[in-house]
Structure 1
Amino acid sequence: MQRMTIGRPADKLGARPFAFQALVVCMMLASFWSWSAPAQAREDFKTFLENLWPEARDKYGVSRQTFDKVVKSLKPDLSLPDLEIPGRQKTQVRQSEFTSEPSDYIDAAYLARLANTGQRLASEHKAALDRIEQEFGVDRYSVLAIFGRETAFGAYTPKYDAITVLATQAWTGRRKEMFRDEFLYALKLLEKGVPRNKMRASWAGAMGLTQFMPSEFFAHVHDMGGDGYADLFDSVPDALASAARQLKNKGWQRGQTWGYEVAIPETSDCSLEGPPGLRPLREWVALGYRRTGGREFPDAMLNENAYLMSPAGAHGPSFLALENFQVIRRYNTSDLYATFVGNLADRIAGGGDFHTRWEAIGPQRTALIRGIQQGLKDRGYGIETVDGFIGSNTRRQVGRYQKDNGLRVDCWPSDAVLNHLQKTSG
């Protein structure tokens, strides 16, 4: 196999395996649009691919032989989610990070099982992890936690052919331009000698033990073996080093943890959540914020900036999130994802469960969230995008609205909030 040398930077998609419910819906829709699609549609797909040839050759260094080998036999997979097909209702995939009930996503039993495996791998790959920490400044526990969250330490095997996925999404997906580039990078991987049968992917094209998009193979991979080939499919050391390099490239702070679980004092509440409230830890201490479990903040960290983050509003743990929490979010842009990874890293290092209980508050409902976001936006609250996703800004604005209207402040988009918005509209 031709050796692959990796180099230049690219941005992260952050697409991951989606919620089971979304899969069921998409499979049902696929039954109405499968390989009985009109011949003209398939011809359009071939034309689309052929029109990519000049750029594949000139910008990505793909040979005609490699290009033809892929294009001649390629057919779109119209069963994929997130496609825009005439006559089919548009659907947007909701990842589990944005659909699950927080208490289900942050599953203590699953975290405990992963932590046990992570501790074993920490011992098994100690030499590689020593080198990773020294070279990239990313602690071994966080790197292992990324590996655990992404593919359950390699137990999860993506079911899709990456080339088919990326070509289909580039042709008729909701985010065509991004997938167009990723498809061309995938062709470049083939040109570099990566076997196509290794390129098993999620529905959005993420591959390997730590789920990299094709562009990221040219931005962040690292060859631990020194043989000129960084193998993210079968080499745990290469995958861990590449994840560490990506975290470093996204701003990882050496020697810093991700955040601290805290108790919010009675003089404060969750409406202070989010990056706009960023301030040094010592100022949070002055406001009465304390670490849970009777622990103190390390003196060396008191000048570090942090913001309040409550991924379930007042219905679960709250944290003072440091810069490395934001870096984990750049790997996958979800507060629940970053909280999962952070806690898994703590557990692998010998820590335990959260001190505050995650309450059962039900799944995240897109229509409800959109309605609340629109209502808040209409009233001048700081909602820029009505997207149905719960992030720190949505929780912050919900909390502000609740305070302004004498409601119980829990910072969570609920039926009660929507009902109040509707009753007071106009």
Structure 2
Amino acid sequence: MKLLRINFRGVIITDKQKKEQCPQILLLNQIEMRTTMKAQKSNNTFFEHLKNQNRDFIIVFVILYICFCHVTMLESPKDQSRSGRPTKDDRKLPSNPEEVEDLRRDSAANPLIAFTFGELKLITGNFRQDHLLGGGGFGNVYKGLITKDLREGLQPLQVAVKVHDGDNSYQGHREWLAEVIFLGQLSHPNLVKLIGYCCEDEQRVLIYEYMSRGSVENTLFSRVLLPLPWSIRMKIAYGAAKGLAFLHEAEKPVIYRDFKTSNILLDQDYNAKLSDFGLAKDGPIGDKTHVSTRIMGTYGFGVVLLELLTGRKSLDKSRPAREQNLTDWAIPLLKEKKKLLSIVDPRLEGDYPIKGVHKAAMLAYHCLNRNPKARPLMRDIVDSLEPLQEPEDVQNEKPVLTVIHGVADGQLKGKEGSM
């Protein structure tokens, strides 16, 4: 009986044919198996390659997603709600037309002049470089002149025109509006007067009264100008203190968070006026008022008073390492009677009242107390500085009001009295 067999190709063969064709069939089987294995291996390699590509794609996608989220968080205002709706602070941005229109309509509460940008070009001579007074983080400041023919009802006046540097960021808009709101509503002899503003397209400009002697920083530390006499330094300290006290004790207290010599401007008679309210904010009302103002304002005043006393900047990298930070270097010496005069500005050449220096030094010492609650209130500082505005012989007759651990005394105590 002949058995029929079917090979892997489906061909029917007999046993005899199998014997005759066995070598060929085996060879074909081997070739087929090798071909099949190569195909399987090729498929496996393809799928592994595809798997690796997918893995690389996922990794790249995750990295890009993380970067996108990070950039989005940086560009979004911190106080913007998660729903995407503008918060209360967002609605105050001057880029919002309704807010600008409110400023223009409410002229009774905010009597500022809304200038056009074209008018400002006329005022500054098209922002000529020889009219440039200086610059800062906000932008450039130009000297200008308002003339009668600029607009009906305007009186001739020298002004300083502060032009926003074009940074249309949230923070830039917020600082611009803060100055308009605070200086538009507050009026005091020791606050720089805001005349008007310009909010036209992307332009953000502030127009102030012109302060002919510039900032205390430029005047005090100038290598060209004559050193400020002691009496002028105390006049500056007194005026700045009155401006700061006014802000702290206003019906709606203001925390002036940028008190420094560069933000104290001087008119022709060296009257000090506070400027740059971009970082100012409404202070608390009630029992917490004094705590906040002591922290934010009184310490800064102490630093400025120390600069006036020593003629040194609060931070000066050009000095020896131990003397670069003014407060760290000077505070230990303020209560030392024998060492105090060694830190007084040498450019004064000893032309100052000894007792007046001692009293100013002790006042600075209390303002710089590490315990905020032990610092004096600004109204007490004003009272302490008032006697220092008089001639030396009169100063020696009047005690200076100081505050020790938050309690006002009519005279200096302890080591202070022995100075």
Larger Rg: 2
Give TM class, smaller chain.
Answer: under 0.3
TM-score, normalised to structure 2, is 0.26
Relative to its length, the structure with more strand (as a share) is 2
TM-score, normalised to structure 1, is 0.25
